[in-house]
Amino acid sequence: MSIEWPLVRNVEKGTCRIVPFDPEQTLGVAAIGYAFMGKAHSQAWRNVSAYFDVPPLEQRVLVGRDATQVAAAAKKFGWRETSTDWRAVIERDDIHIVDVCTPGHLHAEVAIAALEAGKHVIVEKPIANSVDEAKRMVAAGDAATKRGQHAIVNFNYRRVPAIALAKKLIDDGRLGPLHHVRAAYLQDWLNDPTTPMSWRLRKEDAGSGALGDLGSHLADLVMHLTGESIDSISGGVTTFVDKRPTGNSGDGGIRGTGGGALETVAVDDAAWGTGRFSGGGILQLEVTRLALGRKNQLTLEIYGERGSIRFDLENLNELWFFDGSGMPGEQGFRRILVTEADHPYVGHWWPDGHILGWEHTFVHQFAEFLTSIRDDTPSSPSFTDGLRVQRVLDAIEESSAHGARSIPILR
Ligand code: SOE
């Protein structure tokens, strides 16, 4: 099926006219939001065409609530226009991709409206603030896919070259049947109890705390890497600092120094889970934003019958691999520096050994997305992947509310 877009909706007649895909047509991008994720996404839109063979695109509109601030951000981040009205922007015929970089409570409303307006959609992780919202997004995404549209959740860590290499090793059977998966995501930017509130600490905006913010990455990665679902999980959530200085420190970049009135924190500071994979392996999962000394440490350990791997985001160009097929007496975890042209994504950048960074994962994700639009191939991580993650997060919260009993997870 050739891609046919953009859909031109005739609302009065309730029809959608499909405009044939023109590979030479420039894809107009609109981003909703310009804080931390809006900034990270802007750098990826700016760079992806320079390093990857993707359809032509233009950063057309940056959307934000404050006209002055969004205009300043657009100038810095390379957007042609600005708007304070996302509903009007998603109806424009010169917008083909809508990139949702808002706090979680707006993901469902904006993404569904953009899909129904005939646009391709990227939404930041986690997909939504609840399973119900995620289900509605999957329904809208499935209907849009039938119209030739594409929709993904930006679980960008799938696109770390070392993670993509780990996925290849597992898919090639180098680890064999998996016994143990240990996943942790530790940060410390909320360790200081005087660090003020931000949308990430308000349940009505973020849905949850570390569980959704960091746990969503882990849940997606362990299912993506193993190729298995998580059949059940028991666990808990906890809040170490239950009151913080009020205010609005945006994406939470302000550490400490908060003063004034106190606001109750209604989301978790940390969460944990012990689960079982569909293949029988055991999952240990832990997330926190109060692990003093850990700045952005996502670690993965996967132990199989024939091999094991270890990854640490704070050294994201390295993958440690224990090859069980090696000579007895000579085996050991060896460090693979994932910076060679044969490694996933790396050849698009620099000569061997020139390391990449956190921001490159967004460029890789957008390159995959734009390629799937051009070639009309399935896009990932899909909204269904996002719902699968939301069910795991929901099960941990349900387990926590019921004495950490094991909760079965629907597939
Ligand atoms: C949390 O601080 C956070 O910004 C996450 O929201 C991002 O997804 C992660 O990449 C970095 O940490």
pLDDT value of position 152: 98
- pLDDT at position 12 is 53
Higher pLDDT, 260 or 317: 317
Domain boundaries, the chain: 4-155, 161-315+317-356+381-408
Q: What is the CATH number of domain 4-155?
A: 3.40.50.720
For the cut 80, the answer to whether the pLDDT of residue 134 exceeds it is: yes
Q: Of all atoms in ligand 1, which is nearest to the CA of residue 187?
A: 2
Q: What percent of the chain has pLDDT over 90?
A: 89
Confidence category of residue 25, pLDDT binned at 50, 70, 90: confident
* Ligand 1 pocket mutation, candidates 100, 157, 217, 313, criterion most atoms within 8 A of CB: 217
The answer to whether 206 and 104 have CB atoms below 8 angstroms apart is yes
286 C-beta closer than 6 A to ligand 1: no
Q: What is the pLDDT of residues 26-72, one digit of tens each?
A: 999 999 999 999 999 999 999 999 999 999 999 999 999 999 999 99
Return the amino acid letter for 316. L
pLDDT at 4: 43
Residue 110 has pLDDT above 90, yes or no: yes
* pLDDT tens per residue across span 355-393: 999 999 999 999 999 999 999 999 999 999 999 999 999
User: Is the CB–ligand 1 distance for residue 385 below 6 Å?
Assistant: no
**Which residue bears the tokens 């939001």?**
33
pLDDT tens, position by position, 239-281: 999 999 997 777 766 677 666 799 999 999 999 999 999 999 9
Residue 220 beta carbon below 6 angstroms from any ligand 1 atom: no
Q: Is 124 in the pocket of ligand 1 (CB under 6 A)?
A: no
Please classify residue 374 by burial: count the beta carbons closer than 10 Å to its beta carbon, then call 0-12 exposed, 13-18 middle and 19+ buried: middle
Mutate-to-test residue for ligand 1 from 41, 191, 296, 360, highest number of ligand atoms within 8 A of CB: 296
**CATH 3.30.70.100 at 161-315+317-356+381-408, yes or no:** no
Q: How far apart are CA 157 and CA 68, in angstroms?
A: 33
Instruction: From the CA of 289, give the closest atom in ligand 1.
Output: 2
Q: How far is the CA of 26 from the centre of ligand 1 (A)?
A: 31
- Cα–Cα–Cα angle for 6, 359, 157, nearest 5°? 80
Confidence of residue 2 (pLDDT cuts 50, 70, 90): very low
Ligand 1 atom at minimum distance from 157 CA: 10
Q: What is the mean pLDDT of residues 98-115?
A: 98
Mutate to test the pocket of ligand 1, among 125, 187, 214, 218 (most ligand atoms within 8 A of CB): 214
Lowest mean pLDDT among 4-8, 219-223, 229-233: 4-8
Mind listing the pLDDT tens digit for each residue in 165-221?
A: 999 999 999 999 999 999 999 999 999 999 999 999 999 999 999 999 999 999 999
Whether pTM exceeds 0.85? yes
Ligand 1 mean position, distance from CA 206 (Å):
12
Three-class SS string for the chain?
A: CCCEEEEEEECCCCEEEEEECCCCCCEEEEEECCCHHHHHHHHHHHHHHHHCCCCCEEEEEEECCCHHHHHHHHHHHCCCEEECCHHHHHCCCCCCEEEECCCHHHHHHHHHHHHHCCCEEEEECCCCCCHHHHHHHHHHHHHHHHCCCCEEEECHHHHCHHHHHHHHHHHCCCCCCEEEEEEEEECCCCCCCCCCCCHHHCHHHHCCCHHHHCHHHHHHHHHHHHCCCEEEEEEEEECCCCEEECCCCCCCCCCCCCCCCEEECCCCCEEEEEEEECCCCEEEEEEECCCCCCCCEEEEEEEECCEEEEEEHHHCCEEEEEECCCCCCCCCCEEEECCCCCCCCHHHCCCCCCCCCCCHHHHHHHHHHHHHHHHCCCCCCCHHHHHHHHHHHHHHHHHHHCCCCCEECCC
Q: Supply the pLDDT for residue 160.
A: 98
pLDDT of the residue at 411: 84
Phi first, then psi: give them for residue 359, nearest 5 degrees.
-70, -25
Ligand 1 proximity of 323 Cβ (cutoff 6 Å): no
Confidence tier at 410 by pLDDT (50, 70, 90): confident
Total count of residues recorded for the chain: 411
Question: How far is it, in rounded angstroms, from Cα 281 to Cα 277?
Answer: 5
Q: Mean of the pLDDT values across residues 344-358?
A: 97
Q: Given pLDDT bands bounded at 50, 70 and 90, which one contains residue 14?
A: low
Tokens of 28: 């107009």
Atom from ligand 1 closest to the CA of residue 217? 8
Q: Answer whether residue 295 shows pLDDT above 80.
A: yes
213 C-beta closer than 6 A to ligand 1: yes
Shortest-distance Cα residue to atom 11 of ligand 1 = 296
